[in-house]
Amino acid sequence: MSLRPLRRIALPVACTSVALFAACLGNEGQVSQPTTPVATNPTAPAPDTTSPDTAPETSVATTVVTAPDAVETSTSPAETSPTDVPASEVSTNPLIVHEWGTFTSVQSSSGVSFAGLHHEDEALPYWVYRRNLTDPFNYFFEQLPEEPIQQLETPVVYFYSEKPQDVRFRVDFPEGVIGQWFPRESSYLPKHGEITAMTNGMMEWNVTVDPGILPSQFKPVDPNEIWAPSRQVASTPIRSKLEGFEEEFEQFIFYRGLGRFDLPVRVTTSSEDVMHIRNPSEDALPAVFLIHVTPAGEGAVVSLGALPEDGVLTAAVPRKFLPAEAYVAEAKTLLKAAIVASGMYDDEAQAMVDTWTRSWFKNVGLRVLYIVPAPWTERLLPLDIAPAPASIVRTLVGRIETMTPTQEAEAFTLIASLEETSDLGAAMESVIAKLGRFAEPRIRLMIDAHGTTATRDQLLESAHNRR
């Protein structure tokens, strides 16, 4: 019994561009046949044996890696063990739940995390709910009680059910607070105006998972909006109906937030451009990647394979750059394979890499991406779902933005030049633009390393207050 049948659908707004048309439709207007689930529950289909696997695991704690000329992938994914529930606790109408998302942080070349992660990378549709009720284009909470050092970005939750059923979905965020979400929630914590720390967050939804919902019932978005790719998945749509409010329809539940917590992974880079990625935890990282994008748009991606528990991966800063189009295609292929190997369906993995194409693969900078071990996700974002799903797969990607010592020196020179400018306002805007999305944590890094001045304090305030 398959919970992912072919569905004939009305063409959604997100499919009106030529670029997305092929991804939205298969033959005769049907959704393309999805990859079958990887699940151990007897109600779930057999695993797909055609999807590529991730790079092989390392067998030693420390491995020296250089950029390969070509990265080989096998043709069968490694089976995962989704959370299975005793048959007595599973609804007679089996439910499957899949989730993906990202944890983002910024570290110095010495592996120290810096605050200032409350800035929005991609503007969301105006109808997305948020804690800040006065400025719909600002990611800030109604107040910012602490400086965030971790951003929980864009988790989306997909449901699969052959028949309509009501589902209560609750996620707790013990070390953070959820700031944006859709559809309308049934309850959340801390209550509006009562946030005193970035802890004890919670969000709960009551939705109906219904195969009869059509994409034409969704709120319209432009095909180029960040929201669009997540809808290109053959999951079962949801309906939210709360008393006193109009019905809302969507392909998934969405939420994102901020926290003060830090994940164990540390990335350090020497003056010789040698990177060390350390995992002092008791859980192995299933897959690790290095991404390096130049101001000219060229890029390099290196798959380092798995990082064992209490292990270290050592690699040179990748500099074997490819033209933008070829590099992005390679990076998306590698990341998608790792996401599929974690247990996500093929179209879910495609939706994830399409959603993050600009941020992961086109933003200038040096970053590490890795598959977050399942125990970390369960600890940071515990779920309570009723009825109990037949299986759950959750794939979170950790993202660490980092800099080499040379890049840090260049950033400090840029900031120091403000002390001699006559048009400080314009000069500060220029510096912030050059430092990019993560300008605030990078300015904090420079102040921490070199001390502050009135001009640097003013620069930090300007970076802090931008959207």
The reply to whether 184 and 226 lie within a common domain is: yes
Clarify whether residues 316 and 447 are in a common domain: no
User: pLDDT, tens digit, for every residue of 389-416?
Assistant: 999 999 999 999 999 999 888 888 888 8
Helices (H), 116-255: none
Secondary structure of 418-448 in the HEC alphabet?
Answer: HHHCCCHHHHHHHHHHHHCCCHHHHHHHHHH
Digit-coded pLDDT (tens) for 226-256 = 999 999 999 999 999 998 999 999 999 999 9
Same domain, 380 and 450: no
Q: How confident is the model at residue 12 (pLDDT cuts 50, 70, 90)?
A: very low
Q: Alpha-carbon distance 125 to 136, whole Å?
A: 9
Is 197 inside any structural domain? Answer: yes
Q: Which residues pair with 255 in a beta bridge?
A: 181
Is residue 215 domain-shared with residue 330, that is, in the same domain? Answer: yes
**Do 325 and 422 have their domain in common?**
no
Domain boundary among 402, 426, 441: 402
List the one residue out of 133, 135, 136, 138 whose CA is nearest residue 120.
138
- Say what the pLDDT of residue 139 is: 63
pLDDT in tens, 93-116: 799 999 999 999 999 999 988 888
- My answer on whether 350 and 430 are in the same domain is no
List CB contacts of 444: < 8 A, sequence separation 6 or more. 114, 115, 116, 460
**43-90 pLDDT, tens digit each:** 333 334 333 333 333 333 343 333 333 333 333 333 333 444 444 445
The first and second tokens of residue 139, run together, are: 């990611």
Residue 430 lies inside a defined structural domain of this protein: yes
Q: Is the confidence at residue 26, as pLDDT, over 50?
A: no
Q: Is 279 exposed, middle or buried (0-12, 13-18, 19+ CB in 10 A)?
A: buried
Residues 391 and 413 in one domain: no
Domains contained in the chain, number: 2
| Domain endpoint, select from 378, 402, 426 | 402
Residue 8 domain-assigned?
A: no
In a domain? residue 132: yes
Q: Are residues 384 and 434 in the same domain?
A: no
Neighbours of 216 (CB within 10 A): 12
Residue 37 placed within a domain: yes
Same domain, 364 and 346: yes
pLDDT at 375: 97
- pTM (2 d.p.): 0.80
Q: Are residues 131 and 196 in the same domain?
A: yes
In a domain, 194, yes or no: yes
In a domain, 2, yes or no: no
88 with 43, same domain: the answer is yes
Domain identity same for 118 and 142: yes
Q: Considering only 3-12, 178-187, 452-461, which range has the smallest mean pLDDT?
A: 3-12
357: containing domain:
13-402
